[in-house]
Amino acid sequence: MQKKIRVLIAKPGLDGHDRGARIVALALRDAGMEVIYTGLRQTPERIAEIALQENVDLVGLSVLSGAHLSLSEKMIDALGQAGIGEVPVVVGGLVLRRDVQAVKELGIAEVFPSGTPVDDIVGWIQENI
């Protein structure tokens, strides 16, 4: 029996819109993954705490506020401080194409800008986790 992939979907910062995060969470669940959703307005430290408690295989951040660079850096730091720096992080949402490489250089495993088909997200996770 193969272990299900456990994914934490999180909404860091002050962004109050979570429709995209919920759609991705449902798609991952429908693909057979276990999904934990943090709800809105979480701090990177709280997300790391939940990731540790839930023993997740991946953290997915949904960022629509334009703060993807600073939140990505803070998230990587928070996971390291929690002792789970090896857990990969992906970022989705309003990430400018010109910022994708900079986000990845912070330690983010993959970036899924708005409009990325959910099948692409599911496929990437299945292939890489």
Domains of the chain, each with CATH number or no CATH: 6-128 (3.40.50.280)
Please count the other Cβ atoms lying within 10 Å of the Cβ belonging to residue 116.
17
Predicted model pTM: 0.95
List phi, psi (to 5°) of 61. Answer: -100, 135
Residue 125: closest CA among 2, 30, 7: 7
pLDDT at 3 over 90: no
pLDDT in tens, 97-128: 899 999 999 999 999 999 999 999 999 999 99
Quick one: what percent of the chain has pLDDT higher than 70? 99
**3-class DSSP assignment, residue 60:** strand
pLDDT at 70 over 70: yes
55-72: buried (b, 16+ CB within 10 Å) or exposed (e) per residue?
Answer: ebbbbbbbbbbeebbebb
- Partners of 8 in beta bridges: 36, 59
Residue 109: closest CA among 86, 78, 83, 81: 86
Where do we find the tokens 């909404």? Answer: 11
Please count the other Cβ atoms lying within 10 Å of the Cβ belonging to residue 22.
13
Per-chain mean pLDDT for the chain: 95
Q: pLDDT value at position 1?
A: 64
Interatomic CA distance for residues 8 and 89, integer angstroms: 9
